[in-house]
């Protein structure tokens, strides 16, 4: 694939991400390097200093790699805690690893699709944390009506 087409697609994705701003974007930088050993061109887009999106030369035919908070994106999605797994199933979210766009990659996926997915998954994880916290409070303070606990938390 022609490097110019590759970079043109990435630049278009970055431009759209800036315009749509699914997640507020404070800072965005793009770096392109050619690896000496493989002669492979890789472009890294860094968003807000905590998201790195690494595009290989075959993008969009192959998915990009994501580093989120200095860890592979997959580690953000993966959970082995039985409480969390059961809540994900109970709330009909299912396994986050299995529902990510990276498991069903399509040529049409863009940075915006990833940012929208990240925003959704962060909301789901926050919801799960609140449910676990409320359940723990209920167990600890059985005699206090749930309504009072919720009112206190929501103030």
Domain ranges (residues) in the chain: 3-154
* pLDDT of res. 138: 81
Name the token pair of 6: 């590759």
Euclidean distance between CA atoms 9 and 54, whole angstroms: 13
Name the token pair of 2: 């022609």
Euclidean distance between CA atoms 143 and 72, whole angstroms: 43
pLDDT tens-digit readout, 26-57 = 666 777 666 666 667 788 888 888 899 998 88
Tell me if 58 sits within 8 A of 107, measured CB to CB: no
- Average pLDDT on 6-11 reads 77
Looking at the DSSP bridge assignments, the partners of residue 67 are: 52, 72
User: The pTM is what?
Assistant: 0.78
Question: Average pLDDT of the chain?
Answer: 83
Question: DSSP assignment, residue 108?
Answer: T
- Average pLDDT on 98-115 reads 90
Euclidean distance between CA atoms 143 and 27, whole angstroms: 49
* pLDDT of res. 72: 96
For residue 1, pLDDT beyond 50: no
Euclidean distance between CA atoms 122 and 111, whole angstroms: 16
pLDDT tens-digit readout, 62-76 = 999 999 999 999 999
For residue 134, pLDDT beyond 90: no
For residue 59, pLDDT beyond 90: no
- Average pLDDT on 128-146 reads 83
* pLDDT of res. 20: 67
* pLDDT of res. 130: 86
3-state secondary structure of 135: helix
């Amino acid at each position: 694939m022609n490097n110019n087409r590759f970079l043109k697609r990435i630049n278009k994705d970055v431009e759209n991400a800036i315009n749509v701003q699914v997640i507020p974007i404070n800072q965005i930088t793009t770096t392109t390097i050619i690896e000496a050993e493989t002669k492979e061109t890789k472009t890294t887009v860094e968003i807000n200093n905590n998201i790195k999106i690494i595009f290989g030369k075959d993008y969009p035919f192959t998915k990009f790699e994501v580093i989120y908070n200095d860890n592979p994106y997959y580690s953000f999605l993966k959970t082995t805690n039985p409480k969390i797994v059961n809540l994900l199933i109970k709330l009909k979210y299912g396994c986050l690893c299995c529902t990510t766009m990276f498991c069903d990659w399509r040529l049409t996926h863009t940075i915006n699709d990833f940012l929208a997915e990240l925003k959704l998954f962060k909301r789901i994880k926050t919801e799960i944390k609140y449910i676990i916290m409320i359940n723990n409070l209920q167990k600890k303070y059985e005699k206090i009506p749930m309504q009072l606990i919720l009112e206190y938390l929501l103030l």
